[in-house]
């Protein structure tokens, strides 16, 4: 069943991306749409068969090399300035983010990011990460922005308001003490429509966060809500042409899958 599910999802993702390309919708968006950027989500790095959350380091190297060659990588501060209309970025620019604080970010991906000059954000569950404190400090010293993925990596949308507030505040304060830098960004654990709400948005805003990211697909445009921003998941087992298409928006329409799953979850 796992093998079948893996292949079905790969067929679906490639089908969405190729349909966007062959239909001409990508070319039309490139020509007529307002400027957009996208946020890419990684989780861990390694050669684990049929693990969508694990991207082989050689594939990651080719992806970062391609971004660097085309000048498409931006940092977290660029995203905030773009949202506020204070900065222009090239249409199709991307922010690289890595969730969960897995040691493979430090052991493998960090060298690739540095080699190609790619800014990145590490979203870390401050109270539940296998990465040693010294590793997080080295990431920050190397230019990776360390940001919050909650305290215990549990859904904010499925807990009481006081508990969600504690998750947001504890994680931010702990990370700031650890890396000696201000933490202003948050990634909702899991990031589905069940995991955030107007109430969790308000909690994050009061806790001092300026940007927050979901796992819902789509591009970011100036004026978007800074505390419910979409991201695009990069999966293992996919070729470079697929990466190039999703950077251009080939998986933007996957948001309809996200919304359908949300409706099914609510019905269930």
For residue 163, with 0-12 CB atoms within 10 Å meaning exposed, 13-18 middle and 19 or more buried, which class applies? Answer: middle
Q: How confident is the model at residue 33 (pLDDT cuts 50, 70, 90)?
A: low
| Contact predicate 147/171, CB 8 Å | no
Q: Evaluate whether residue 20 is within a structural domain.
A: no
Helix then strand count (H, E) for the chain reads 11, 9
Split at pLDDT 50, 70, 90, the class of 137 is: very high
Compute the half-sphere exposure of residue 100: CA atoms within 13 Å on the CB side of its CA: 13
Among 38-42, 143-147, 186-190, 219-223, the least confident range: 219-223
- Predicted confidence at residue 3, as pLDDT, reads 83
Dihedral sign computed on CA atoms, order 205, 206, 209, 213: negative
Q: What are phi and psi of 55, to 5 degrees?
A: -105, 125
In a domain, 196, yes or no: yes
Are 67 and 91 in contact by the 8 Å Cβ rule? The answer is: no
* DSSP-assigned letters across all residues of 44-99: EES--TT-TTEE-HHHHHHHHHHHHHHT-B--HHHHHHHHTTS----TTEEEEEEE
Task: Identify the pLDDT of residue 257.
Answer: 76
Average pLDDT over all residues of the chain: 92
Cα–Cα distance, 181 to 237 (Å, whole number): 35
Q: Please give the Cα distance from 147 to 207 (Å, whole number).
A: 13
167: domain CATH number? Answer: 3.20.20.370
Answer yes or no: is 189 within a domain. Answer: yes
The total domain count for the chain is: 1
127-160 burial, b at 16+ Cβ within 10 Å, e below that, comes to ebbebeeebbeebbeeebbbbbbbbbbbbbbebe
What tens digit of pLDDT does each residue of 161-188 get?
Answer: 999 999 999 999 999 999 999 999 999 9
pLDDT at 136 over 90: yes
What per-residue confidence (pLDDT) applies to 259? 72
Judge whether 182 lies within some domain: yes
Residue 27 in any domain: the answer is no
Distance CA 142, CA 134 (A): 12
Tell me whether residue 19 is in a domain: no
Query: Is residue 103 domain-resident?
Result: yes
pLDDT of residue 258: 75
pTM above 0.85, yes or no: yes
Tell me: the pLDDT tens digits for 46-67?
998 889 999 999 999 999 999 9
Structural domain that includes position 231: 2-11+34-261
Give 8: exposed, middle or buried? Use CB within 10 Å, 0-12, 13-18, 19+: exposed
**What is the pLDDT at residue 264?**
57
Tell me if 23 is assigned to some domain.
no
What pLDDT does 2 receive?
A: 80
Q: How confident is the model at residue 267 (pLDDT cuts 50, 70, 90)?
A: low
Q: What is the mean pLDDT of residues 202-222?
A: 96
């Amino acid at each position: 069943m796992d093998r079948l599910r893996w292949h079905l999802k790969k067929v679906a993702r490639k089908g969405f991306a190729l349909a966007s390309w062959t239909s001409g919708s990508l070319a039309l968006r490139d020509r007529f749409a307002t400027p957009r950027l996208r946020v890419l989500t990684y989780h861990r790095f390694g050669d684990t068969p049929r693990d969508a959350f694990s991207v082989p380091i050689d594939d990651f190297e080719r992806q970062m090399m391609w971004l660097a060659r085309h000048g498409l990588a931006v940092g977290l501060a660029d995203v905030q300035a773009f949202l506020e209309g204070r900065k222009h970025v090239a249409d199709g620019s991307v922010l690289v983010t890595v969730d969960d604080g897995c040691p493979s970010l430090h052991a493998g991906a960090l060298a690739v990011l540095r080699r190609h000059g790619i800014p990145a954000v590490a979203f870390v569950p401050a109270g539940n990460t296998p990465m040693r404190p010294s590793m997080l400090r080295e990431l920050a010293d190397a230019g990776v922005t360390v940001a919050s993925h909650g305290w215990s990596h549990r859904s904010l949308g499925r807990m009481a308001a006081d508990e969600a507030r504690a998750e947001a505040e504890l994680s931010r304060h702990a990370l700031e003490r650890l890396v000696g830098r201000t933490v202003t960004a948050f990634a909702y654990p899991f990031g589905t429509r069940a995991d955030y709400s107007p109430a969790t948005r308000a909690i994050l805003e009061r806790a001092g966060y300026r940007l927050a990211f979901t796992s819902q697909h789509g591009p970011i445009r100036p004026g978007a809500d800074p505390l419910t921003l979409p991201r695009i998941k990069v999966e293992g087992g996919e070729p470079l042409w697929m990466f190039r298409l999703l950077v251009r928006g080939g998986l933007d329409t996957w948001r309809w899958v996200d919304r359908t799953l949300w409706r099914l979850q609510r019905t269930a």
